[in-house]
Chain A
């Protein structure tokens, strides 16, 4: 039987944001994947922070990315660390190199994909998951696009 990557257990997770990260989550609500880019020198950074580490500028831009990327690394979680989350097994925390962001990566999950097909270098595309409280989280599926 093909095992499918599930959603991770988020327990009591409540999104926290500040003026430097809010635009990322706002874009997700609009089903847009973005990445912070320095308005002065163009350096991408993730997660977003108050200063560009290259030029110290506080100018920040939020370009819309294509929403595709490459799987950089992953782990298949086979055992629930927290009691009561067994139904989320297996889930797949992953690091994805984002297309259009100069090699920046995002810590995320591979979801709705065959566990057996998960491999480093695989093309992935973004999907947007809405949590019960309305928070939208970008995650990824295997394959170059939804089609």
Chain B
């Protein structure tokens, strides 16, 4: 019953609110719907409440739209009552009830004391609505503002659509709680990728886990080898034989011979910038060769100017090159690739005549 009668003010507003913009109408409908449960609760003096509520709504409409005077308000109300009567006649089953509603109506119209509170409520609702609509607008705007995204690169064929993932906001998608994973209410089944599976809880306890650990520590006693030796080698004096791992001499993937010593390998790994050790060594060897050649042929005029060499090598300088370089400043030792190509060209020129 209650729901039928409350639907009437909604109808009325739809027919009457020609002055309202779409948005306002929507807002009113929304508030009307919000009130519905309350009305159902107050079943006893339902008709009274209904009128009061209706009046509240109307006041709100007028404050928002044109802030009309009181008498126009009343006229408007009269109009509405008539219209409502028409509606009531159409709806026979609720006719009786609506008649009582209308008979109480004029009494209620005299109650002006609610108006001040109604103004406040209306104002609050209006402000809230304006804020909400502005927020909505801003969100829509930012959402549609996607020009120049990676999507465009895909459209232009610069990026393969299946090879990109970086721009997907799926980044923080919870894999336990996404649309493809649905757990049933009883937690006994789960639906994944369209298939339903039965679930069983994991029963492993801490004690079982530690029992397994104990069993394993009895079964497998092991000390991780820390040194690898080729089969046939002798064990170094300070090494615990238990920690030696013997590698067959013909092991397909492993070798125990290192052409580089441990400290150097470590510093190679830790090197952050500069020319890698091996490359530098090769350049230095080449440079040495060139120098000896130059000394032999006594062509001192074609020696590269040491000053310019210094300029080139600065960016390539690294910690290990300093020791070799500090001793003899007089002889140039370029180690950059630019220098080496330059020196080889000069070397070619030397050979020509």
Indicate whether A and B interact.
no
